[in-house]
Chains A and B, each alone.
Chain A
Amino acid sequence: MPDHENPSEQSDGKRSILICQALGCLSSHSDRIQTAIEAEISQLELADSVNVKLTGCPGLCQEGPIVLIEPEGTFYARVKPEDAPDIAQSMLPDGQVVERLLYHGDDGQPIRNYADIPYYVKQQHIVLRNCGHINPEEIDDYIAVSGYEALKKVLADMAPEQVVEEVTKSGIRGRGGAGFPAGRKWAEARKSTKEPKYVICNADEGDPGAFMDRSTLESDPHTVIEGMIIAGYAIGSDTGYIYVRAEYPLAIKRLKIALKQAEGRGLLGDNILGSGFSFTLQIREGAGAFVCGEASALMYSIEGKRGMPRVKPPRSVESGLWGLPTSLNNVKTFASVPVIILRGADWYAGIGTPNSTGTAVFALTGKIVNSGLIEVPMGMTLREIIFDIGGGLIGGKEFKAVQTGGPSGGCLPASALDLPVDFDSLNEAGSIMGSGGMVVVDEDTCMVDLARYFLEFTQEESCGKCVPCRIGTELVLEILDRITNGEGKPGDIELLEEYGDVIAKGSLCGLGKSAPNPVLSTIKYFRDEYEAHINEKRCPAGACRALTSFYINPEACRACMLCFESCPVEAVDGWLRTIHIVLQEKCIKCGSCYDVCPSLYNAIVKVPVIEVPQPPMPGTKVPRKKRSKC
Chain B
Amino acid sequence: MLEKELKEIYELCVNCRLCLKECEFLKSLFETRDSIIVDLEAEGANNKTLYSCTMCDLCETICPSELNIGRAYLKLRQQKGPLPVQKKFIDKDQEWVLSDNFALALPDPDSSECQRVFFPGCHLVGYSADLVMKTYEHLKAKLPGTAILLGCCGASRRECGDDALFKETADNVEAEVKKLGASEIIVACPNCRYAFTEHERSLKIRSIYEVLDEIELPEMASNGERTFTVHDPCRARWQDEMQDAARNLISKAGHKIEEMRYSRDLTMCCGLGGQIPYANAPLSKTMAKLRAEQAEVDIVTYCASCRDALAPHKPTLHVLDLIFNPDWDEARTKPAEKPSEKREHQSALRAQLLEKFGG
Q: Which residues of A contact B (CB under 8 A)?
A: 558-562, 576-577, 598, 600-601, 622, 624-630
Q: CB distance A558 to B65 under 8 Å?
A: yes
Min Cβ gap A483→B in Å is: 37
Q: CB distance B12 to A600 under 8 Å?
A: yes
- CA separation between A627 and B66, bound complex, in Å? 8
- What 7 A-B pairs are tightest by C-beta distance, nearest first? A558-B64, A598-B14, A560-B16, A560-B64, A576-B62, A562-B16, A626-B66
In the complex, identify which listed stretch (B39-47, B100-108, B214-222, B232-240) lies at the interface while the others stay far away: B232-240
Instruction: Check B210 for interface membership: any CB of A closer than 8 A.
Output: no
Residues of A within 8 Å of B52, CB to CB, are none
- CA separation between A561 and B57, bound complex, in Å? 19
Min Cβ gap B314→A in Å is: 23
Most interface-central of A577, A622, A628 (chain B CB within 10 A): A628
15 residue pairs of the A-B complex, CB under 8 angstroms, read A558-B64, A560-B16, A560-B64, A576-B62, A576-B266, A600-B65, A601-B14, A601-B64, A622-B64, A625-B66, A627-B238, A630-B57, A630-B235, A630-B237, A630-B238
Residues of A within 8 Å of B62, CB to CB, are 559, 576-577
Instruction: Check B265 for interface membership: any CB of A closer than 8 A.
Output: yes
Quick one: given A576-B266, A577-B265, A577-B266, are A628 and B14 in contact (CB under 8 Å)?
no
Q: CB distance B18 to A560 under 8 Å?
A: yes
Quick one: given A577-B265, A628-B71, are A559 and B238 in contact (CB under 8 Å)?
no
- CA separation between A536 and B14, bound complex, in Å? 37
Instruction: Check B198 for interface membership: any CB of A closer than 8 A.
Output: yes
Most interface-central of B66, B235, B266 (chain A CB within 10 A): B66
Residues of B within 8 Å of A577, CB to CB, are 61-62, 265-266
Residues of A within 8 Å of B238, CB to CB, are 624, 627, 630
Quick one: given A560-B14, A576-B18, are A628 and B57 in contact (CB under 8 Å)?
yes
Residues of B within 8 Å of A560, CB to CB, are 14, 16, 18, 64
- CA separation between A115 and B12, bound complex, in Å? 35
- CA separation between A561 and B16, bound complex, in Å? 7
Min Cβ gap B16→A in Å is: 4
- CA separation between A92 and B237, bound complex, in Å? 59
Instruction: Check B96 for interface membership: any CB of A closer than 8 A.
Output: no
Residues of B within 8 Å of A628, CB to CB, are 57, 60, 68, 71
Residues of A within 8 Å of B239, CB to CB, are 630
Min Cβ gap B65→A in Å is: 7
Task: Given contact pairs A560-B16, A624-B66, enumerate 13 new A-B contacts (beta carbons under 8 Å).
Answer: A559-B64, A560-B18, A560-B64, A561-B18, A562-B14, A598-B14, A600-B14, A600-B65, A625-B66, A626-B66, A628-B57, A628-B68, A630-B238
Q: Is the interface of B mostly helix, strand, loop or mixed?
A: helix
Residues of B within 8 Å of A630, CB to CB, are 57, 194, 197, 235, 237-239
Instruction: Check B259 for interface membership: any CB of A closer than 8 A.
Output: no
Residues of B within 8 Å of A625, CB to CB, are 66
Most interface-central of B65, B194, B239, B266 (chain A CB within 10 A): B65
Residues of A within 8 Å of B16, CB to CB, are 560-562, 598
Instruction: Check B22 for interface membership: any CB of A closer than 8 A.
Output: yes
- CA separation between A626 and B197, bound complex, in Å? 16
Min Cβ gap B19→A in Å is: 11
Min Cβ gap B74→A in Å is: 10
Residues of B within 8 Å of A562, CB to CB, are 14, 16
Residues of B within 8 Å of A629, CB to CB, are 197-198
Residues of B within 8 Å of A601, CB to CB, are 14, 64
| Residue of B whose beta carbon sits closest to that of A597 | B14
- CA separation between A618 and B111, bound complex, in Å? 52
Min Cβ gap B22→A in Å is: 7
- CA separation between A600 and B22, bound complex, in Å? 22
Residues of A within 8 Å of B61, CB to CB, are 576-577
**Residue-by-residue, is B236-280 near A (CB-CB < 8 Å gives 1, otherwise 0)?**
011100000000000000000000000001100000000000000
| Residue of B whose beta carbon sits closest to that of A625 | B66
- CA separation between A325 and B14, bound complex, in Å? 64
Residues of B within 8 Å of A600, CB to CB, are 12, 14, 65
- CA separation between A256 and B19, bound complex, in Å? 55
Min Cβ gap B8→A in Å is: 10
Most interface-central of A560, A601, A627, A629 (chain B CB within 10 A): A560
- CA separation between A629 and B14, bound complex, in Å? 24
- CA separation between A625 and B66, bound complex, in Å? 8
| Residue of A whose beta carbon sits closest to that of B239 | A630
- CA separation between A630 and B199, bound complex, in Å? 10
Min Cβ gap B335→A in Å is: 31
Residues of A within 8 Å of B71, CB to CB, are 628
- CA separation between A120 and B66, bound complex, in Å? 43
| Residue of A whose beta carbon sits closest to that of B67 | A626
Residues of A within 8 Å of B12, CB to CB, are 600
**Residue-by-residue, is B191-216 near A (CB-CB < 8 Å gives 1, otherwise 0)?**
00010011000000000000000000
Residues of B within 8 Å of A561, CB to CB, are 16, 18
Most interface-central of A562, A576, A624 (chain B CB within 10 A): A576
Residues of B within 8 Å of A598, CB to CB, are 14, 16, 64
Min Cβ gap A622→B in Å is: 8
Residues of B within 8 Å of A558, CB to CB, are 64-65
| Residue of B whose beta carbon sits closest to that of A564 | B16
- CA separation between A558 and B64, bound complex, in Å? 5
| Residue of A whose beta carbon sits closest to that of B12 | A600
| Residue of A whose beta carbon sits closest to that of B198 | A629
| Residue of A whose beta carbon sits closest to that of B68 | A628
Residues of A within 8 Å of B237, CB to CB, are 630
- CA separation between A423 and B118, bound complex, in Å? 89
- CA separation between A628 and B58, bound complex, in Å? 12
- CA separation between A561 and B266, bound complex, in Å? 15
- CA separation between A308 and B20, bound complex, in Å? 60
Residues of A within 8 Å of B57, CB to CB, are 628, 630
| Residue of A whose beta carbon sits closest to that of B195 | A630
- CA separation between A561 and B265, bound complex, in Å? 17
- CA separation between A237 and B274, bound complex, in Å? 87
Residues of A within 8 Å of B68, CB to CB, are 628
- CA separation between A630 and B62, bound complex, in Å? 17
Residues of B within 8 Å of A626, CB to CB, are 66
- CA separation between A627 and B237, bound complex, in Å? 11
Most interface-central of B16, B194, B197 (chain A CB within 10 A): B16
| Residue of B whose beta carbon sits closest to that of A622 | B64
Min Cβ gap A395→B in Å is: 15
Min Cβ gap A474→B in Å is: 46
- CA separation between A335 and B65, bound complex, in Å? 55
Min Cβ gap B158→A in Å is: 12
Residues of A within 8 Å of B197, CB to CB, are 629-630
- CA separation between A72 and B347, bound complex, in Å? 81
Min Cβ gap B78→A in Å is: 15
- CA separation between A598 and B60, bound complex, in Å? 18
Residues of B within 8 Å of A576, CB to CB, are 18, 22, 61-62, 266
- CA separation between A266 and B14, bound complex, in Å? 61
Residues of B within 8 Å of A622, CB to CB, are 64
| Residue of A whose beta carbon sits closest to that of B235 | A630
| Residue of A whose beta carbon sits closest to that of B71 | A628
- CA separation between A561 and B65, bound complex, in Å? 12
- CA separation between A261 and B62, bound complex, in Å? 65
- CA separation between A625 and B65, bound complex, in Å? 9
Min Cβ gap A357→B in Å is: 50
Min Cβ gap B201→A in Å is: 11
- CA separation between A585 and B238, bound complex, in Å? 35
- CA separation between A562 and B57, bound complex, in Å? 21
**Residue-by-residue, is B51-92 near A (CB-CB < 8 Å gives 1, otherwise 0)?**
000000100111011101001000000000000000000000
- CA separation between A625 and B67, bound complex, in Å? 11
Min Cβ gap B153→A in Å is: 14
Min Cβ gap A559→B in Å is: 6
Min Cβ gap B1→A in Å is: 19
- CA separation between A576 and B197, bound complex, in Å? 26
| Residue of A whose beta carbon sits closest to that of B61 | A577
Residues of A within 8 Å of B266, CB to CB, are 576-577
- CA separation between A565 and B12, bound complex, in Å? 20
Min Cβ gap B24→A in Å is: 15
Min Cβ gap B236→A in Å is: 9
